[in-house]
Every structure is written in structure tokens, then in C-alpha cells.
Amino acid sequence: MQVLEAIRSRRAIHLGSYLDTPIAAEIVREVLDAGRWAPSGANNQPCHFVVVREEAARRWVIEHMLEVLRLSGQVGRPPYRESLRTYAEYLATQDPVPPPVMLITLAEQDKRETHVYNHGGLHIMAACAAIQNMMLAAWSFGLGSTWLTFYDDVRVKAHFAIPTELDVVGIVLLAYPRSVPRVPPSMYGFGFRVRRPLEEMVHEERFDEAKFAALRQRDPFLHWIPEERRARLVAEENQRAAAQRRAAGGSP
């Protein structure tokens, strides 16, 4: 799989869409090695990875995530709060299969800066790059992944004996997917949302404040919706696109 193809086709595989098919140790090692090759400030390589395979530990992570998600739906910031509440209520009706492998990604706090002219977050940047590398590598092997960010750092550290001088940057869930969202450009994330065109995100030479102000006037976030409804919206959008092509004299 080519790099650009992997970037554009990778999808977050959400809880409820995992298979419990085992993942070969060699593949897990290749995924971890992709994280090892991520860039870091001054090549200080701050990352550590805890590989979680035991069923009891994996179920603890999922139960903990659901608790944090439920609380986020109660006290989180709007408009995210409403979306997370809907997602939590949906998952509460399911009996999701935990992914067979989880990768807790950590970053050493004493490698947060390499010189006096940065903001001290270089260890987090490196760990984020490692997570992206691992998710793309996983996808190249046909594995789905999710970057889990719903957790309480203190409880995760206590449960997995992680020292306090390490930051938990994310938990990567790895599994063969039961289904993969076929998301066209106008479908994204938690809901029916237009993928921002590149022109909105690129600023030539200097930051364009007028462009940014126009973007901020639009609602940037819509609620999470179940995969079944998303599939219907995809089908409807594909039908509209085909009708437009026919009307223009093109092939359906």
C-alpha cells in the first residue's frame, strides 16, 4: 500500500466494529517498529509502548473508557458534550468486543524540551508522530485502529504500573475490522460533516485572518451518529452524486 493511499483510506474503527481475530506477534512488532521510527526533537526518542494483550486488562480499558466517556457527556464542553453523550448512550446498549491488542503510548517528561526557545511539548509531539506512524502501518496490514483519548491518566498509570514521570499520550486500539466506514469527502468523524477543502487550511506567506474569521462563523462540529445511519447517508449522497453526473451527461 502506498503512503498517500494509506493516509487517505485509513478510517477510525470505533468500538463495536472489532473482530476478536488474533493478531500475529510479527505484525504487532512491525507496527511498533513504525512508531520507533517517528521523528523527535534532537532525536531524543522519548516514546515507550505498553503492549496490552491480556483479556482482563483489555476489558478494564474499555470499561474505563466508557466511564470517562459517560462523564464527558455530562460535564464536558459544548458542543462536544452533546455529541459524546449520544455516543455514550449508544455504546451503553451494546456489548462491544475489546480489540485483541492495545498499545499504550508514553512520553518521557524530561525530554519535553531540547532548547530554551520551545514551549516544552516536544515529547508529546514525538509520541503523536509515533501514534500516526503505527496507525498507518497497521492499516497497511489490514488492521483497523483507533487513537483512544478518553481515559484518566492517574488511573491508567496505576493500573499498568507506569511511572509518574511518563505522560500517557494515547492508547492505540488494534483489531481486524468487522466493517470499515466507506467515507466519501463529505463524511467525517462523528457525523455528517463536510471535509474542509485544502484551500481553507493553507495560508500563503502569511496567516489569512479573513479566511480564518469566515471559517469560525460556521459550526465546526456535529453530533456523533450510529454507523447504520451514516451508511444510509453515504448511500443517499452517492445517489445524488450519480444523479448529478447523469444530468451533466456523464457516466453514472
122 and 233 part of one domain = no
97 and 205 part of one domain = no
39 and 130 part of one domain = yes
Q: Which of 128, 153, 179 is the last residue of a domain?
A: 179
- What gap in Å lies between CA 81 and CA 74, rounded to an integer? 7
245 and 134 part of one domain = no
114 and 143 part of one domain = yes
Give yes or no for a cis peptide into 96 (omega within 30° of 0).
no
Predicted pLDDT at 53: 97
164 and 234 part of one domain = no
With 70 as the cut, is the pLDDT of residue 65 above it?
A: yes
pLDDT band (50, 70, 90) for residue 75: confident
Which of 113-127, 145-159, 175-189 shows the lowest per-residue confidence on average (mean pLDDT)? 175-189
Predicted pLDDT at 236: 75
pLDDT band (50, 70, 90) for residue 175: very high
3-state secondary structure of 200: helix
Domain that holds residue 47: 3-179
Do the strands 144-148 and 101-108 form a parallel or antiparallel pair, or are they unpaired?
A: unpaired
CB atoms within 10 A of CB 77: 8
Predicted pLDDT at 226: 64
Which of 94-98, 122-126, 147-151, 226-230 shows the lowest per-residue confidence on average (mean pLDDT)? 226-230
Q: Which of 157, 179, 201 is the last residue of a domain?
A: 179
Predicted pLDDT at 43: 92
Q: 8-64: per-residue pLDDT in tens? A: 888 888 887 889 999 999 999 999 999 999 999 889 999 999 999 999 999 999 999
104 and 214 part of one domain = no
Sequence letter at residue 55: E
> Residue 126 maps to which CATH number?
3.40.109.10
Q: Which of 131, 164, 179 is the last residue of a domain?
A: 179
Whole-number Cα distances in Å, 212 to 155, 197, 199, 218, 220:
38, 13, 11, 11, 12
Predicted pLDDT at 189: 43
143 and 238 part of one domain = no
134 and 239 part of one domain = no
131 and 208 part of one domain = no
Give yes or no for a cis peptide into 197 (omega within 30° of 0).
no
pLDDT band (50, 70, 90) for residue 148: very high
What is the tally of structural domains in the chain?
2
With 60 as the cut, is the pLDDT of residue 99 above it?
A: yes
94 phi, psi to nearest 5 deg: -105, 170
138 and 187 part of one domain = no
Grid cell at residue 18: 472489532
Predicted pLDDT at 222: 47
Whole-number Cα distances in Å, 21 to 100, 138, 176:
7, 14, 7
191 and 153 part of one domain = no
Strand locations in 11-120, DSSP E? 47-52, 101-108
Highest mean pLDDT among 10-24, 142-156, 231-245: 142-156
- What gap in Å lies between CA 95 and CA 170, rounded to an integer? 23
With 80 as the cut, is the pLDDT of residue 218 above it?
A: no
Predicted pLDDT at 97: 86
Strand locations in the chain, DSSP E? 47-52, 101-108, 144-148, 166-175
